Amino acid sequence: MTDQTDQPSNKLLQDILLELKKINTQLETIQLELQHETDRIEEQFPKLDIHSTPPSSLNILNIQEQRPGIFKTYKTIQKKDNWISATDVSQETGRSRGLESRYLNYLAENGFITKKRVRLSDEEKATAVVYKYIEVNE
């Protein structure tokens, strides 16, 4: 009698194992698709060394088309001749300083602008981060 009750549970376990294998195959497929998408994005937005290669016009057009919020930040800083803070950019765009700070850091990390930390003159240890536009290679 134990043989008869073991057969249905073995069948159930085999069915579960088969389903787990299917799920594993689907997850592997998803992982490959995500890796291809990540590679595609990295090709479009390569991380550039800001000290050696300013962004090309094509890189800027890609941002304009695919990241309009960040492009608005880029256009705002492009109009300035001097170093500018995230607070200054946020006052011009009407968006929060935190959002502008994230956008500015993205632009700096990808070589569209440069950034530096400066000491505030009125306080001994206080610093601020400022950003500046990089000229585009035509």
80 shares a domain with 12: no
Domain with 128 in it = 47-133
Residues 104, 110, 114, 120, Cα dihedral to 10°: 50
pLDDT of residue 111: 81
111 shares a domain with 56: yes
Q: Per-residue DSSP letters for 57-72?
A: HHHHHHHHHH-HHHHH
pLDDT of residue 70: 82
Please report, for the domain that includes residue 96, its CATH number: 1.10.10.10
Tokens representing 75 are 């256009």
pLDDT of residue 97: 92
Q: How far is CA 89 from the centre of its chain?
A: 20
**Sign of the alpha-carbon torsion through 86, 116, 109, 131:** positive
Asked, for residue 55, whether it belongs to a domain, the answer is yes
* pLDDT in 10s for each residue of the chain, 138 residues: 455 556 778 899 999 999 999 999 999 999 888 888 877 776 655 554 444 455 666 667 677 677 778 888 888 888 888 899 999 999 999 999 999 999 899 888 888 888 888 887 777 778 888 998 876 543
